[in-house]
Amino acid sequence: MDRLPGLISVSRKGRCERTNRVNPEQWDIRAGQPIDYPGCWMLSGSNADGESWSYFRKEDGTYWEVARENLFPRSGGILHIELGCHVTDAAILKWLREYYAEWLQSKFRVEVFDCPEQGFRNFVDRESANQYRDSLVGKGVKDANIRIVAINREGVPL
């Protein structure tokens, strides 16, 4: 998921038009729940050329292009979002839904007891968590003092 299959842009006439910005460069992608929009989700990307895009998922599961973002608006709050076009392109919807499903998946935390300098560390997948546990054991931490737990996206154990 390192490339976006295409973007929807808003023309000056207010119509949604598909633009093809599929380039081989990597996108720096950020995703999360905006604090001012509970139950919603936002996905943004930018690349080294200064190109950027953002999509917004409403509580009802529909996806929208973000036309404008205003951080710390005068009206209050942290973020004000103006929505652009409703995303209807099947390829973009598929990509957005896959990314959202991946974001919802549980993550893993390695917790170390009786060893305050190690504390805990979060990992995206179980394999990475296991490798970190193995490295701790190699450094002399007792295996009985290490626990791997599944956590949700907020970091709460499942």
Query: Each residue of 85-109: pLDDT tens digit?
Result: 999 999 989 989 988 887 777 677 7
157 occurs within a structural domain = no
Does 141 fall in a domain?
yes
Q: What is the pTM of this model?
A: 0.58
What is the token pair recorded at 130?
Answer: 């296991």
Q: Which of 6-10, 44-48, 63-67, 150-154 has the highest mean pLDDT?
A: 63-67
Is residue 2's pLDDT more than 60? no
Task: Please indicate, yes or no, whether residues 19 and 84 belong to a single structural domain of this protein.
Answer: yes
Contacts made by residues 134-137, CB under 8 angstroms, sequence distance 24+: 136/110, 136/112
Do 61 and 122 lie in one domain? The reply is no
- Pull the structure tokens for residue 137: 């054991």
Do residues 20 and 76 share a domain?
yes
158 lies in some domain: no
14 lies in some domain? yes
Is 26 part of any domain? yes
Greatest Cα-to-Cα distance within the chain, rounded to the nearest angstrom: 66
The domain tally of the chain equals 2
Query: Are 74 and 117 in the same domain?
Result: no
Residues forming a β-bridge with 69: 81
pLDDT 10s digits, 45-71? 888 888 888 999 999 999 999 998 887
Query: Does 1 reside within a domain?
Result: no
Structural domain of 23: 7-104
Assess whether 79 and 147 both reside in one domain.
Answer: no
Confidence of residue 153 (pLDDT cuts 50, 70, 90): low
Same domain as 82, residue 130: no
